[in-house]
A = this chain, B = another copy of it.
Amino acid sequence: MRPHLRRVPSPKKTRNLEKSRKEILDIAFGEIYRHGFQGVSVDDIVRKTSLTKGAFYHHFPTKLDLGYAIVDDVLAPLTLARWVVPIGEYADPLEGILRTMERNIGGAEPALLRTGCPVNNLAQEMAPIDRGFRKRIQGTLNLWIGGLEVHLKRGQQTGFVRRDVDTGQAAHFIVMVIEGMYGLIKGLDDPEAFNTLLTPVKDYLRSIATLSTRK
């Protein structure tokens, strides 16, 4: 054996670039999610971390760069994992979309609903203020919409979604509905509003389904 050739990085090492970066990103994401980007200071974030300000600025040149990294490395993957990937588990994408809504919003903790949707929060706060945020949020939303559209097209080919449906339009509308639901539930501070809002959404999904698969 020549263990020195295929060296595995020691898990005990006290310095780890990637791990530190991830820690900062995760903590910062949570804080910004709850208090807004402008409502959180670098010191706030650093304090909740096991690291210090030196580490922070070693990883991110400015606070703005941290924000950008959060959109790219946290928000975008999270959104896909929550709202696009799970639909793949369903033969009928429309059922997948409905079930995902029920799970992610209907089944969420009231405390979490009060905080709303991470993407929407950051979008509403920072998109009009900063171009960098705007472009990245735009990208994330388009990933989301594009991902949905893929599933809808699949549904058209497998006979679940009507062929005459404009899948791009439908994907836009569905994302709008999800953001709108999050927003109104948060604004009204009423998780029960989800059920009220869901009925018309079900009707919409039924309206773009093929007759044979309507329930």
For chain A, the count of residues having a C-beta within 8 Å of the partner chain is: 49
Q: How far is the CA of A110 from the CA of B38 in the complex (A)?
A: 24
Q: How far is the CA of A173 from the CA of B173 in the complex (A)?
A: 13
Residues of B within 8 A of A177 (CB): 176-177, 180
In the complex, how many angstroms separate the beta carbon of A64 from the nearest chain B beta carbon? 13
Q: Would you call B169 and A200 a contact (CB within 8 A)?
A: yes
Is A127 positioned at the interface, with any CB of B under 8 Å from its CB? yes
Q: Would you call B168 and A123 a contact (CB within 8 A)?
A: no
Pick from B128, B181, B196: contact of A34, CB under 8 Å: B128
Most buried by B among A129, A177, A183, A186: A183
Interface residues of A in 162-207 (CB under 8 A from B): 166, 168-170, 172-173, 175-177, 179-181, 183-184, 186-190, 193, 196-197, 199-200, 203-204, 207
Interface of A is mostly: helix
Q: How far is the CA of A138 from the CA of B38 in the complex (A)?
A: 23
- One of A52-60, A82-90, A112-120, A153-161 at the interface: A112-120
Q: Would you call A200 and B170 a contact (CB within 8 A)?
A: yes
Interface residues of A in 97-145 (CB under 8 A from B): 114-116, 119-121, 123-125, 127-129, 134, 137-138, 141-142
Is A36 positioned at the interface, with any CB of B under 8 Å from its CB? yes
Pick from B116, B138, B189: contact of A188, CB under 8 Å: B138
Residues of B within 8 A of A114 (CB): 127-128
Is A39 positioned at the interface, with any CB of B under 8 Å from its CB? yes
Residues of A near any B CB (own CB < 8 A)? 34-36, 38-39, 114-116, 119-121, 123-125, 127-129, 134, 137-138, 141-142, 166, 168-170, 172-173, 175-177, 179-181, 183-184, 186-190, 193, 196-197, 199-200, 203-204, 207
- Report 13 cross-chain contacts, Cβ distance below 8 Å, ordered by A residue: A34-B129, A39-B129, A120-B183, A124-B125, A124-B186, A125-B125, A170-B200, A173-B197, A175-B184, A176-B183, A176-B184, A180-B181, A203-B207
